[in-house]
Amino acid sequence: MKKEDNPFSVAEAEESPGFLLWQVTSLWQREIRKALEKYDLTHSQFVLLASTMWLTRQNEPVTQILLSAHSKIDPMTTSTVLRTLQAKGLLERREHATDTRAKTVALTANGEKITRQAIKVVEQFDADFFAPLGNKISEFNKKLRLLLQQ
């Protein structure tokens, strides 16, 4: 292969933000999965449980579509995962009071208990995972928020 035919725009794979993001996320998700294993929760399940708790505390009407928007998990996956969590007895899905198309999601007592424990574990894990950034974490957060807002 001829050198002048290089299809890559960067000299090192380590200079591509896309490839770096791919690698970091792969590792992060893999480690989180291990941390959640003891609660028999997948990462997506945890995100939806924590989001349900979060939105409930904001006094939002917790519909599936709102959970999907908040968690950035697509609506179909949200539906599937929530049913799994319902089967596990961690949350309930009732008919919405005013919108009969929608369902209202709420944690059960056990769901609340497990979610609280899992949040602690994940927050500690994240603290460790992002520790190499030191006091640059807020800068990192700011950059991520920039990417979300486009």
Partner DNA sequence: CAAATATAATAAGTATACTTATAATAATAA
Partner DNA sequence: TTATTATTATAAGTATACTTATTATATTTG
Q: State the residues that interact with its own copies by CB under 8 A.
A: 1, 6-9, 13-28, 30, 32, 47, 53-54, 56-57, 70-74, 115-116, 119-120, 122-123, 125-126, 129-133, 136-137, 139-141, 143-150
In terms of CB distance, is 3 or 101 closer to DNA?
101
Query: Any idea of the CA torsion for 130, 142, 43, 104, to the nearest 10 degrees?
Result: 150
Rg, the chain, Cα only: 19
Q: Residue 24 binds what, of DNA, its own copies, none (CB under 5 to 8 Å, by partner type)?
A: its own copies
Q: Which two tokens stand for residue 10?
A: 């960067």
In terms of CB distance, is 74 or 99 closer to its own copies?
74
What string of DSSP letters covers 35-97? HHGGGT--HHHHHHHHHHHHHHHTT---BHHHHHHHHT--HHHHHHHHHHHHHTTSEEEEE-S
State the minimum distance, in angstroms, from the CB of residue 66 to its own copies: 13
Q: Residue 102 binds what, of its own copies, DNA, none (CB under 5 to 8 Å, by partner type)?
A: DNA
Q: Which residues contact 37 (CB under 8 A, 6 or more apart)?
A: none
Q: Residue 99 binds what, of its own copies, DNA, none (CB under 5 to 8 Å, by partner type)?
A: DNA
Q: Locate tokens 């996956």: which residue?
A: 77
Positions that interact with DNA (CB under 7 A): 26, 29-30, 33-34, 42-45, 63-65, 68, 73-77, 79-84, 93, 96, 98-103
In terms of CB distance, is 108 or 137 closer to DNA?
108
State the minimum distance, in angstroms, from the CB of residue 81 to DNA: 4
Burial group, residue 15, by CB count within 10 angstroms (0-12, 13-18, 19+)? exposed
